[in-house]
Amino acid sequence: MYDFHLLHTEGLSRYYPGVRALDAVDFDLAAGEVHVLFGENGAGKSTLISLLAGANNPSAGSIYVRGIAKHFANVHEARTAGISAVFQEFSLIPTLTVAQNLCLGEEPLHNGMLDKQGLLKRAQNSLDELGFEVNASALVATLSRAQQQMVEIAKGLRGQVSVLILDEPTASLTELETTHLFALIGRLKEQGVGIVYISHRMQEIFQIADRVTVLRDGRKVCTVKAAETTHDQLITLMSGRSIEKIYPHIESRPGEVVLEIQNLSTRSGVRNASITARRGEVVGLAGLVGCGKSELLRAAYGLDKVTHGKVSLKGRDHTNASTAQSLKLGYFYLPPDRKHEGLVLGFRSTSNITLHALEGSLKGWGGWLRKKDLKDMAIRAGDQVELTSRNLGKAVGLLSGGNQQKALFAKGLTSNMALYVFDEPTVGVDVGTRSALYEVIKQLCEGGAAVVLISSDLPEVLHLAHRAYVMCSGEVMGELQGNEITESGLLSLFFGTKEGKS
Ligand SMILES: Nc1ncnc2c1ncn2[C@@H]1O[C@H](COP(=O)(O)OP(=O)(O)OP(=O)(O)O)[C@@H](O)[C@H]1O
Ligand SMILES: [Mg+2]
């Protein structure tokens, strides 16, 4: 039997001007259970956990820990009560090492002096125990997003934890790291830790959830036992509609080569990599985190230095071109890290979406774009990615995680590009929107653009790519076409046995 008193809330609410982000929610968590929060982008999941973890104050309602009402003034107070959260937005200090971040505020001393070796050892041990491959002496700024996620989890587990909250922890992890995380969650459950887990990935919900609470527009729709519900039922509860097919069929009509990368090496670790992308096809790029799939296209776009090899765009030399030149020639790149690269958080969504178009018009013809035209342009692009008008008017920084991702995606839809490179485009996006984004990819491809889909989400590559490359340790391990693109076909190349090589 569950002990329903580890944590519960009554009428918990958080209001913002014009938004009921969380509206009178009763929620409870038992010891040793994984309780998943499920809902569309903007449904209130992150808001709920920010209240549970003391990062935000309720407008109404109460939180009880083991039956006793609590008011957390800050995250520290929640932690003292045993509640620890790993948020969607990271909290690490990039200029410090992993070890320093992990021991912040609890640095070990030796004879009154900071014990640097002890610090490093302790941090490395805690990472190793979790099965995370991260070097404790590395600067956080040099880590990939996945590695930063692992450090965040390790940090969340410091000290006595009876409630662990994870907000989309696997959004930037690959299969292997996810397996480690799930094993860890299994161990924590055995120790009686209650886990609140947010995810948009149906498959993993059924893998680890004991119960699922569905939120919609800030309200609780219901709480169900995972064993007693289905995939389709959850989606209907979440969105109030059923979604027949997530992945559309995309017609393949390969035309001229838009992007050709030959024997490329980069400062960021890519080695001798060659790929091509043609008009009218979706090219998948798969591989483990850190395999170089992202770095390859970033260097081709102009975000990193090419040290060897050649990039051609539409038949012309494009090696070490600037990002401005790339955009001008019709090369759109959607970065995976929306917060630091893609979006101006203080600007409205509309202004963010039309940013590229605006640059083009000012630099291109020196002409004027009417404010209304820009607004219409943003609304059209917003529509395609299912961003509501209410969200379009908000500063992007105030949008929920998934809605920020939609705004970023919409940026590429304001003008016709020859090449779209989407780097982890559906991270944090709900299932309904995911199918809308895939529909956009279909239209772009069938409209004659080349699409490169860089993704850690295998099903995405399996279902959408006409051709796929797999990378490992900076090298392209192989290329698969059509029916060859299967899970085992892709995975067999993930760990680096190159075809025709020993
Ligand atoms: N500081 C704020 N000011 C105004 N509105 C806010 C603020 N913080 C959150 N919201 C709004 O509250 C609603 C709920 O957001 P929340 O981040 O909880 O959604 P979510 O369920 O976590 O979504 P996602 O799956 O996209 O992460 C959204 O409409 C969001 O725009
Ligand atoms: Mg969220």
- Could you tell me where the DSSP H helices lie in 329-478? 349-353, 355-364, 371-384, 389-392, 401-410, 431-446, 458-464
* pLDDT class of 500 with cuts at 50, 70, 90: very low
Q: Of how many residues is the chain composed?
A: 502
User: pTM for the whole thing?
Assistant: 0.79
Mean pLDDT over each residue of the chain, to the nearest integer: 89
Q: Ligand 1, closest atom to CA 404? A: 26
Tell me the domain boundaries of the chain: 7-239, 244-330+417-426+448-502, 340-416
Q: Ligand 1, closest atom to CA 405? A: 26
The neighbouring-strand residues paired with 152 are none
Q: Ligand 1, closest atom to CA 45? A: 21
Using CB atoms within 10 Å of the CB of residue 3, give its burial: 0 to 12 exposed, 13 to 18 middle, 19+ buried: middle
Do residues 29 and 7 make contact, with C-beta atoms less than 8 angstroms apart? yes
**Whether residue 146 has pLDDT greater than 60:** yes
What pLDDT is stored for residue 242 in this prediction? 67
Report how far ligand 1's centroid is from the alpha carbon of 430 (Å).
13
Report how far ligand 2's centroid is from the alpha carbon of 147 (Å).
20
Options 3.40.50.11890, 3.40.50.300, 3.40.570.10, 3.30.70.270; which CATH number does 7-239 get? Answer: 3.40.50.300
The mean per-residue pLDDT over the stretch 155-183 comes to 87
Report how far ligand 1's centroid is from the alpha carbon of 312 (Å).
42
What pLDDT is stored for residue 445 in this prediction? 97
Question: Pick the residue with more confidence: 211 or 386?
Answer: 211
Is ligand 1 within 6 A of the CB of residue 403? yes
Is ligand 1 within 6 A of the CB of residue 216? no
Those residues whose C-beta lies under 8 Å from the C-beta of residue 329, and which sit 6 or more positions away, are: 313, 314, 318, 418
Is ligand 1 within 6 A of the CB of residue 138? no
Q: Which protein residue's CA is at the shortest distance from atom 11 of ligand 1?
A: 21
* pLDDT class of 495 with cuts at 50, 70, 90: confident
Helix (H) / strand (E) containing 119: helix 116-130
- Could you check whether 7-239 and 244-330+417-426+448-502 share the same CATH topology? yes
What pLDDT is stored for residue 88 in this prediction? 78
Q: Which protein residue's CA is at the shortest distance from atom 7 of ligand 1?
A: 398
* Listed residues: CB within 5 A of ion ligand 2: 46, 400-401
The mean per-residue pLDDT over the stretch 147-156 comes to 89
**Whether residue 501 has pLDDT greater than 50:** no
| 244-330+417-426+448-502 is classed CATH 3.40.50.300 | yes
Is ligand 1 within 6 A of the CB of residue 43? yes
* pLDDT class of 30 with cuts at 50, 70, 90: very high
